[in-house]
Amino acid sequence: MAFVELEVKEHIGVLTINRPEALNALNDEVIRQLDQVLDSLDLSVLRCLIVTGAGQKAFVAGADIAQMSGLTKAEGEAFGKLGNDVFRKLETLPIPTIAAVNGFALGGGCELSMACDIRLASDAAVFGQPEVGLGITPGFGGTQRMARLIGMGKAKELIYTARNIKAPEALSIGLVQAVYPAEELMAEAEKMANRIAGNAPIAVRACKKAINDGLQVDMDAALVVEEKLFGSCFETKDQTNAMTAFVEKRKHDPFVNC
């Protein structure tokens, strides 16, 4: 892939948007390549995926304005659907995902980060949805995910004003979970990914599904979702391995994803 790279480090994948000369801006080709890479992931091996951008300036600086400027209404809707379909595929991956936001995350870049489960930022990161200043709305889920992540009022403020925010403010409003010096970001992201990967992978996947699916229904239905996923874990070798070791006061054997 010319614009999207995947590196596998044992149970961790690092997916990099690699278009630094354009600040990793998303055009239709980048989005399609992202789709293909997501389809190629070996989920029997990978237990966590890190998403980041190439270079020192940008995670993803947004969608490609030059490409978008001439779109018709129908073409704009189709471009939005393309991005939404691929970002939704990322959001619903069975394994956890971490956005390592190393610079500008504006427009589609902010939306890409919000499609991940966890966002870690460098102290140089900048977030924003500047679309209304360009005569459009966010088109890749920004109006929906931001309100769910940081609350409706704050999301409306940031989207209506098109105001960019730096990493400390993003942390204070809950848009990101941690901020690190730029030179430490990837090491910290990999440290978290490896900690996740060290836990029982089927149980971790079940937790992700329980949280994501449960938030779409009322509390009573959500608790049923959790109960069924909780019960399903008792059919796994990992559960038998870990609980037997706990009772016997010894370290469990490596988890085997089954």
* Catalytic residue positions, numbered: 111, 131
Give residue 60's Cα distance to chain centre. 13
d(C-alpha 89, C-alpha 210), whole Å: 17
**Cβ neighbours of 63 (radius 10 Å):** 28
CA atoms within 13 A on the CB side of 106: 23
d(C-alpha 147, C-alpha 162), whole Å: 15
d(C-alpha 246, C-alpha 253), whole Å: 11
Give the per-residue SS3 of 98-111. EEEECCEEECHHHH
Give the amino acid at 15.
L
Contact of 241 with 252, CB cutoff 8 Å: yes
Contact of 170 with 127, CB cutoff 8 Å: yes
